[in-house]
A and B are shown apart, each in its own frame.
Chain A
Amino acid sequence: MIEMKSITKSFGTNVVLKDVSITIKGGEICALIGENGAGKSTLMNILGGVHQMDSGEIFIDSQRVRFDTPAQSLGAGIAFIHQELNLINDLPIFENMFVGRELKDKRGRLDLTSMFKATEDIFERMDIKLDPGTMVRDLDASYKQIVEICRAIMMDASVIIMDEPTTSLTEPEIKRVFHMMRTLRDQGVGIIFISHKLGEVMEVCQRYVVLRDGKLVAEGDVADVTTDDLTRFMVGHAIRIEKLTRTQRIGQEILRLENFTHARSFREISLSVREGEILGVTGLLGDGRSALFQTVFGADRALSGKMFLGGEEVKVTSTEQALQMGIGYLPRNRKENGILKDMNVLENASIVTWPLFAKRGVIDTDRHGKVFKSQQRELDITLQSFKDAINTLSGGNQQKVVLAKWLAANPRLLILDNPTQGVDVGAKEEIYEIILKLAEEGMAVVVLSSEAQEIIRLCDRALVMYHGQIQGEVLDTTMTEHEIMRLATGGIVEAV
């Protein structure tokens, strides 16, 4: 059992945690929820030895402990899956699984065989088809997330912290992760589960703890509450999840692909998106949708096939060119694809528009500042100063910054890949509203998501991909979770 008592923590003058006390029991999955910037990750970073608290105490089984480094925390049996991916790209999976606690043989050499074998075992138990010898560099973000989860599971920890482990996973993997979590729980492991998807919380957790503005505002048993209650605790007032409506004005075709084919990731893709339309693209792990639209954006090359933009055939050879043609692409996996870690918040929010606003090559900082200021209000981005380093922002707020840079560019065709990754309930609705408004103003929007609900609520129609091909299209009455899942798992379109 772990007790954190009266934890207080500030960064500079920003008091992030105020007198927070929580208890984590073995054999229990406890949800830690709250809005973006509420202090969830910070609290866990203290338990994980990443940050030091200003005051407060931590007890493990009534023994007072102190963690100055992550290694000490791990040594005390606490495994931590961080919000942002933390793998070494240049090592194969099985070596990543043992970084910092490598298996050695009698003569002190690395025991690669045992490490490989152990990794294989855990993948088998989790029903994951991955070769442990694959370089992490070559893995998709979702697979990386799975590797991280498996690594934590393998550590024989007594407590596992999972900071938003499901944001880049699709339905079947989430199910498998939950299954694994339950197994561990039944073995007596305590799990802290951070998520903005309340459905998941209801499904897998027994207890909940809610943080708001760094204070503990509610805790209790999940069985006693509804998702509406949890939302109310987090935000302080109720948020109505309303049906999204807009006046649809579908105009001319913006993008058309004909038999678009890539060397590895996708084949024979034909599709079309029009002005004012919101097209969803979904599928499971390995469906190739990210690679497809990164190619449309000029970050990769297609092997064959044609691409038309506004009726004209184009060959996009660089992302810069795509930007000039009016194509925008918000990438998934913000740490690797979105965040410039050495630059400040404003720079991260304006990099796309530097060349668009510049006067003779000189960046118009004032104009970027103005644009971002209004975006900050609209997206409710919690931050201290525009000049702060980007990684001082909470995960969800970083995501909003990455989104902001594309909204500022105002492209003709905006592709959003997992746009609400790690964003809290309220902000998610805001982002949906913004997307609807953009479509209403005539933008063609493509939303890539593995969340069926997101697709159903937001999109006019959706394409479901399976192993690099379009398996089928859903719209109106066929746009149901059931139908999407059937196509995503390779089901054939029924003849009508």
Chain B
Amino acid sequence: MQAAKGKKKNVVSRLMEARAADSHVGIALVLLLLIVLQTLVLGFDFGSFGQWFSAWFRNWINILRNNAGVGIVALGMTFVIITGGIDLAVGSTLVATGAVIMTLIDTGAGGVLGLLGITGVPAYVMAIVLALVMGYVLGTGIGLLITKGRIAPFIATLGAMKIFRSVTQHFMQGYNPRVPRDFLQISNLQIGGLMFMPIVYWAIIAIVLHYISKRTTFGRQVIAVGSNERAAQLSGVNVNRVKTRVYSLMGVLVSIAAIVQVARIGSMDYANAGSGMEMDAIAATVVGGTSMAGGRGTILGTFMGMLIIAVMNNLLNLFGVPPFLREAFKGLIVVLAVLLQRKQRT
């Protein structure tokens, strides 16, 4: 009977409901604002609209491609943070899996698959599969450390971060694998003169993860665990398994980012590649509306959060802000985003 009353709803309340249900509105507005600003800064000083548009479009393809790697990692970070955890090891996992791929496909004397007589596409496929498996194994290891070993996520992943990078650096010193040309096509394939494969991977992964988060048992259990771990457990949810899987997923996503990155530049700087990646991913997640306390967050939000940070970087570039100051702006926008969302919620 009460439900019947609820059917007669006026437009205002419907709108209010829509807003409450969709906390993305604020994020989307900020993003839109930045895009408008960026468009203005880019200027309209072109011969024709066509010229202007192609410049604008190319700029965008660049932005998106440059951020695809971190963007993919940020999507996984969203799941991690929703469960109330954190993963500081993503950058090091990236280097470790990157090193494995390169060692496998190296065309030089040290190439493992080359020595076994496997080259070309079969070698690439094998390398990719093994990289994914490696990411999965490393991620699962971290997950088990956190769930079975009962180590706080911050500490466990801090440890993993140090170990993965240092071990990688040790084994890779003095060894410079050569990545075969064809492998680079994974990221650098040109269609219509544009290189946008990384963007395609990012988009596909975002769509798949969005679906997982919204519609699958696993996706909703992730939210439930973050929302109230005890209640989730007492509802028959295997909390440890859900959490471990979240880190496994993170590992796999990082290995995808590693593949994309290796294929993009054909080399890897083991000391610096991916360092700071965890912070960028966390920043995108938080700007996208995920709560560090767990229980709240969406893939769509993180996707937009990543775009906000990316456009922001681009803007700072266009404005000619000195490089050292740019990080300050990044910090500022993270803090602002969180303040803004707090306002909206209350």
Contact = CB atoms under 8 A, between A and B. Distances in A.
B162 interface: no
Contact of B217 (A339, A355, A387): A355
Contacts of A358: 216-217
Interface string B206-243: 00000000011110110110111011111111101100
A: contact size bracket:
35 or more
A27 to B, nearest CB: 38
B9 A13 contact: yes
Given A12-B16, A342-B296, A387-B21, A363 B216 contact: yes
Interface string B1-41: 01101101110010011000100000000000000000000
B58 to A, nearest CB: 39
B295 interface: yes
A319 B228 contact: no
A323 interface: yes
A342 B295 contact: yes
Nearest to A318: B238
B236 A340 contact: no
B242 to A, nearest CB: 10
Contact of B220 (A37, A299, A354): A354
Contact of A322 (B3, B10, B224, B236): B236
A354 B235 CA distance: 10
Nearest to B224: A340
B217 A343 contact: no
Contacts of A322: 236
A347 B233 contact: no
Contacts of A13: 6, 8-10, 13
A405 B231 CA distance: 12
Contacts of B233: 299, 319
Contacts of A299: 233-234
A329 interface: yes
Nearest to A320: B238
Interface in B158-197: none
28 contacts: A12-B13, A13-B8, A37-B2, A319-B233, A320-B236, A331-B231, A331-B234, A338-B231, A339-B228, A339-B231, A342-B295, A343-B220, A343-B224, A347-B224, A351-B220, A351-B237, A352-B236, A354-B220, A355-B217, A358-B216, A358-B217, A361-B216, A363-B220, A382-B2, A384-B3, A384-B6, A385-B3, A405-B235
Interface of B: 2-3, 5-6, 8-10, 13, 16-17, 21, 215-218, 220-221, 223-224, 226-228, 230-238, 240-241, 295-296
Interface of A: 12-14, 37, 294, 297, 299, 318-320, 322-323, 329, 331, 336-343, 347, 351-352, 354-355, 358, 361-363, 365, 376, 382-385, 387, 405, 409
Given A12-B16, A37-B2, A387-B21, 8 more contacts: A14-B6, A331-B231, A336-B230, A347-B220, A382-B2, A383-B3, A384-B2, A385-B6
